[in-house]
Structure 1
């Protein structure tokens, strides 16, 4: 009887270990293992990947109870503990220009710029705006809060100037440009595509609430709802779910184009392949 009990305990233990190793999900109908990069966070949003230093930047809530107040932080490659980016008041938005080695931080007092390769601190380039979201494609774009209007940053002799993008006339929550120069906006009614060279909006049928829009290293665009990642079927302009992820908050891609997402308390990388 003792031998049977011992064997049963060993079997249960091994089953638990194997179950932990096999934690994953299906992405594009292929199994992907989960690798936990950081945990014990409070709602990590706005994920961005620094390809030079292999850092993942994000914002997270530091408010108490019903109060929302945010910090910007990052995790280093091979580390799980995060480091706080200091001196960004209520830092919420991040955009990384990996081509030109620049990183931008948006907070309640404006936008700050920092060199990726030179540790020479941050400098404020835009003042007087409360930053909701940012996106970079050649030029830095941002959405202010609470007006929810889109601006583009232009460099002039006197400094960086924020130019209102009046062709996006409505209040928006997210903005992105894919590899074909098509634009995407979300507003209170849902998701719209604006094809390159046109001003007409194409309504994308499906869910109408989004956590983020992200573009991968190949210029493909992805849309995060509360419980999944979606792509657009351009034959009928509907959303197709490629991954079921409960309570997703953010998305980005590493240098190998692996998906990295966040849930209410963790940042997770997805790696293709079966469990070992």
Structure 2
């Protein structure tokens, strides 16, 4: 999967082509969802092959609200998730099929049988983001504090109590801890209790892992991948990608301002005298 995004090539010529060349193969952009508010926080649920996400819903001329929804990649069913005010965050415990959803009044769990969200914990707390790795984490808004659930109760993570956190991620091997805020993207060295700056220019939009454990950073300047010994390198130069996840087969699912898009293999592509266009 790492090679898929690294080898995307664009030909700078006079005409335009909507396909994307990845190594020696061409991919069409299959539009899964379009023409509504900006979709973000895409998370693929591997068992059901559904992609859960949030999108913006204009309430007035001055305010926006957030709505959680999912798309079934097998049936193309689209479903809003009712009952969560200001729903904007998703985390999934893939091993136990637990889907956590956050809104402006607490954390919920999605019931796949009833298709309803049942209240879980943290009543009255405004949930900015969720993350699951052995434990459930959440980031509160507007103070941007990171919390962890231990023995059924949530508490502020001591190591991060002096940092604002917008995005948080622990790698699948538990060897690296990353976080991001308005000032940049960072690694937390748990052994030395030290914060290392990775990039203080980018604005992180999402931190994701593919099914092989490769780490992707979706930013305002494009998509970066952790190339291990070489560090984080930009592999996709499109600035209008807002979220990125992977389906059960490790296919890339991305979103831009109005669409959710799957990269789909095609036997035909573009000739060398055209531009590729996102």
Task: Flag whether TM exceeds 0.5 (same fold).
Answer: yes
The answer to whether 1:202 aligns with 2:196 is: yes
The answer to whether 1:218 aligns with 2:218 is: no
Structure 1 alignment gaps of length 5 or more: 1-18
Q: 1:231 to 1:206 in 2, by over 3 A?
A: farther
Q: In structure 2, what is the Cα distance between the partners aligned to 1:197 and 1:26?
A: 42
Query: CA offset at residue 223 of structure 1?
Result: 0.5
Q: 1:252 to 1:72 in 2, by over 3 A?
A: same
Aligned to 2:35: 40
Query: CA offset at residue 249 of structure 1?
Result: 1.4
Q: In structure 1, what is the Cα distance between the partners aligned to 2:148 and 2:22?
A: 34
Aligned to 1:163: 155
Worse-matched range after superposition: 202-211 or 252-261: 202-211
Contact 1:231-1:240 at 8 Å conserved across structures = yes
Q: 1:210 to 1:26 in 2, by over 3 A?
A: farther
C-alpha distance after superposition, 1:76-107 (max 9, x if no partner): 22455631100001100011112111101100
Structure 2 alignment gaps of length 5 or more: 1-14, 270-278
Number of equivalenced pairs: 252
Of 110, 116, 122, which aligns to 2:118? 122
Counterpart mapping for 1:1-276 below 5 A: 23-26=18-21, 31-63=26-58, 64-80=60-76, 82-116=78-112, 122-156=118-152, 161-168=153-160, 169-181=162-174, 182-195=176-189, 197-205=191-199, 207-235=201-229, 237=231, 239-272=232-265, 274-275=267-268
Two-structure CA RMSD over aligned residues (Å) = 2.6
Q: In structure 1, what is the Cα distance between the partners aligned to 2:260 and 2:188?
A: 31
Q: TM-score scaled by structure 2?
A: 0.81
C-alpha distance after superposition, 1:143-180 (max 9, x if no partner): 11000010111243xxxx11110201210110001123
Q: 1:143 to 1:120 in 2, by over 3 A?
A: closer
Q: In structure 1, what is the Cα distance between the partners aligned to 2:23 and 2:225?
A: 10
Contact 1:51-1:98 at 8 Å conserved across structures = yes
